[in-house]
C-alpha cells in the first residue's frame, strides 16, 4: 500500500470540543498520540517507538474510558450501551495488536489505520454526538 500523503497530522480545532474540559483534554492527548503514530510510521521508527505507543494507548483505555462512561451515565446518554460497546471493541483490538506484535508481526501501519479511524469515527464523531 502506498501511504505517502495518506495520513495528515491533526491540529486541534474548536469544532472538536465537547465543552467538557476533562474529556477535551483526553481527546487532545489522543489526537497527539495519533500524530505521534503517523510520525512513527513515516519515519519507520516502529521498532524503537512501538512500546511507547502501546503504553499511551493502554493509558487511554485504563485511565480514561471508565471516566467517560461514568460521565455519559450521569447525563443519561440514551445510546450509552452502544457507546460502551465501542469502547470494549477498542480495548479488544488494542490487545490483539499487542499479541500480534509479540508474535513478531509488523503491525505499525495497521495500528495507525485503526487508531486514525477510531479518532475520526469515535472521538470526533461518536463522543461529540454523545456530549453535545
Ligand atoms: Fe467514547
Structural domain boundaries in the chain: 74-132
Q: How confident is the model at residue 1, as a pLDDT?
A: 62
pLDDT digits (tens, 9 = 90+) for 84-110: 999 999 999 999 999 999 999 999 999
C-alpha 87 – ligand 1 centre gap (Å): 6
C-alpha 105 – ligand 1 centre gap (Å): 28
C-alpha 65 – ligand 1 centre gap (Å): 7
Q: How far apart are the first and last CA of the chain?
A: 37
C-alpha 2 – ligand 1 centre gap (Å): 31
C-alpha 35 – ligand 1 centre gap (Å): 19
pLDDT digits (tens, 9 = 90+) for 39-91: 999 999 999 999 999 999 999 999 999 999 999 999 999 999 999 999 999 99
pLDDT at 8 over 80: yes
Write the CB contacts of 50 (distance below 8 Å, at least 6 apart in sequence).
40, 101, 107, 108
Global confidence as pTM: 0.94
Q: Helix 46-60 to helix 108-118 angle, to the nearest 10 degrees?
A: 30
pLDDT at 6 over 80: yes
Q: How confident is the model at residue 3, as a pLDDT?
A: 74
33 in Cβ contact with 56 (< 8 Å): yes
Whose cell is 465537547? That residue is: 18
C-alpha 79 – ligand 1 centre gap (Å): 11
Amino acid at each position: 500500500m502506498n501511504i505517502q500523503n495518506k495520513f495528515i497530522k491533526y491540529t486541534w480545532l474548536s469544532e472538536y470540543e465537547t465543552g467538557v474540559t476533562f474529556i477535551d483534554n483526553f481527546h487532545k492527548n489522543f489526537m497527539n498520540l495519533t500524530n505521534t503514530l503517523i510520525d512513527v510510521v513515516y519515519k519507520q521508527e516502529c521498532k524503537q517507538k512501538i512500546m511507547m505507543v502501546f503504553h499511551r494507548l493502554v493509558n487511554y483505555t485504563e485511565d480514561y474510558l471508565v471516566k467517560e462512561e461514568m460521565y455519559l451515565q450521569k447525563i443519561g446518554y440514551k445510546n450509552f450501551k452502544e457507546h460502551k460497546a465501542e469502547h470494549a471493541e477498542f480495548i479488544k483490538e488494542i490487545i490483539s495488536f499487542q499479541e500480534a506484535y509479540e508474535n513478531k508481526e509488523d503491525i505499525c501501519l495497521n495500528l495507525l489505520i485503526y487508531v486514525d479511524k477510531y479518532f475520526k469515527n469515535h472521538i470526533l464523531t461518536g463522543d461529540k454526538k454523545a456530549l453535545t
